[in-house]
Amino acid sequence: MKTGDKIRFFRITQKKTQEELSAGIISNSYLSKIENNQALPSDEVLLLLSERLGISLQSNSEKFLSDISAWYKSITDRDKVLASSLFDELESQIDLLDDSTVLIYFTLVKFRYYLLTEDTSRLHETSQYLMKLRELFNEKMEYYYLKFTAIYFYSLSQFNEAHNYLNNAEPFLLKNELEKWEEADFYFFFGLVASRMYQDILSIEYTQRALNNYQADYALERCADCHLLLGIAYKNIKEYVKSEESYLTARKIAFSLKVENYYKGIIEHNLGNLYSIQGKSCLAIKHFSKAFTFKKHGPINPQLITLYSLVKENYKLKQFNKVEKWLAIGLEKINGLESDYYEFFLHFNVYKFELMKEKDSSYEEFMKLKVIDFFVNTNDHEHIALYSEYLGQHFENKHFYKQAAKYYALSKNALWQLI
């Protein structure tokens, strides 16, 4: 970084105006020229400006850059314990550093660290600060800024924004010679964003690039991530054989590495989902059951997703005693938390009603005013179709054919939206 850029950086960091820094040393206009690298100050002026800023413009920064790189690697490896330890160590020393280039890199990686730790207040503060420094970025800094901002928007479920930032970041990635693991991390994240946007061919392309790099680096756990993401993309384009191969490869790697049970649960659930959409309910139930076993000591929402899948698959097979079993577990999980997990409250109670031999008007009111209304408002066409069909069947069984026709039509229209 040029001398003028460094002076400007530390002035901005210390929230000084140009008038405050230049007073009694040089004119405000001359300082402006120095900061814009249009004038080279004398050694005497440089010393006076440095003293007022309380810095030295000559600093050995190689060790700090190396430490920041190690910290960033721990973040991309999702090692929160190591990342936290390295952050504390770096932050305790950073005030001793006068190198603006290193401080900018530290701030950039700090932004990525707060994304990992989900520290929303510091995340916003750091993001605003980086926006002020952005005109001082070199191309490598700009790459990291764009990439991390993409991750930020992804965390907000703003996938189009994330995609735009990644598109802008990619040329900077190609211009700079970065480590292979960094390229792989970028490509994997691009594949993930594309998957969330249902751009499955694009997701496969970028995820395969990431996989090639991870395989060359023997990063087996990240290879498992890639195979899992490829499985999802292949499933979405109905390449079921390739999807199964990808999931099973991810499963093989995960079990060989003895990764966390929660991760194994994700793989098993995806296998169950793959078999479910192919109408292989027995296989689906087998993998959903394994998924719940692995997930049951983890976060509640992933547990509920698998419990709901077990309810649906057993209901398809008319194994009503098992439906009751999984319903009881699901309802117990959300007892007292119905408002927090309202969607699952609806799902579980729909099937609780479906198990009843006789349904009264409370079923009709629940389905019309709560269930279908909720899924219409959330644009969940899959469940509009399913639950409208249930209600249509109910009215047909009662010989209320006009009402039955109304909900069968709603179900059909929702199915069209899924095509």
Res 39: pLDDT: 81
Res 324: pLDDT: 96
Residue 406 lies in a domain: yes
Residue 129 lies in a domain: no
Single-letter code of the amino acid located at 199: Q
Residue 96 lies in a domain: no
Output the pTM of the full model. 0.81
State which residues form the domain around 410: 356-419
Distance CA 46, CA 2 (A): 13
Question: What residues contact 95, with CB distance under 8 A and at least 6 apart?
Answer: none
Q: Which residue has the tokens 């909900």?
A: 407
User: What tokens appear for 239 in the block?
Assistant: 């390449």
> What 3-state DSSP class applies to 14?
coil
Residue 391 lies in a domain: yes
User: What tokens appear for 317 in the block?
Assistant: 């097979």
Residue 195 lies in a domain: no
Q: How confident is the prediction along the chain (419 residues), in pLDDT tens digits per residue? A: 577 877 888 888 888 888 988 888 888 888 888 888 888 778 788 888 878 887 765 555 777 888 999 999 999 999 999 999 999 999 887 776 767 888 899 999 999 999 999 998 899 999 999 998 998 899 999 999 999 999 999 999 999 999 999 999 999 999 988 999 999 999 999 999 999 999 999 999 999 999 999 999 899 999 999 999 999 999 999 999 999 999 999 999 999 998 889 999 999 999 999 999 999 999 999 999 999 999 998 999 999 999 999 999 999 999 999 999 999 999 999 999 999 999 999 999 999 999 998 888 899 999 999 999 999 999 999 999 999 999 999 999 999 999 999 999 999 999 998 77
CATH assignment at residue 42: 1.10.260.40
Res 200: pLDDT: 97
Res 11: pLDDT: 86
As for how many domains the chain has, the answer is 2
Q: Which of these, 17, 27, 13, lies nearest to 103 by C-alpha position?
A: 13
Residue 225 lies in a domain: no
Neighbours of 415 (CB within 10 A): 16
Res 48: pLDDT: 85
Residue 82 lies in a domain: no
Q: In Å, how far are 113, 244, 276, 385 from 87, measured between CA atoms?
A: 8, 40, 44, 50
Instruction: Indicate if the alpha-carbon torsion angle 212, 213, 219, 225 is positive or negative.
Output: negative
Distance CA 112, CA 131 (A): 15
Q: Which of these, 269, 344, 267, lies nearest to 300 by C-alpha position?
A: 344
Residue at a domain's end among 53, 78, 93: 53
Res 60: pLDDT: 54
Residue 37 lies in a domain: yes
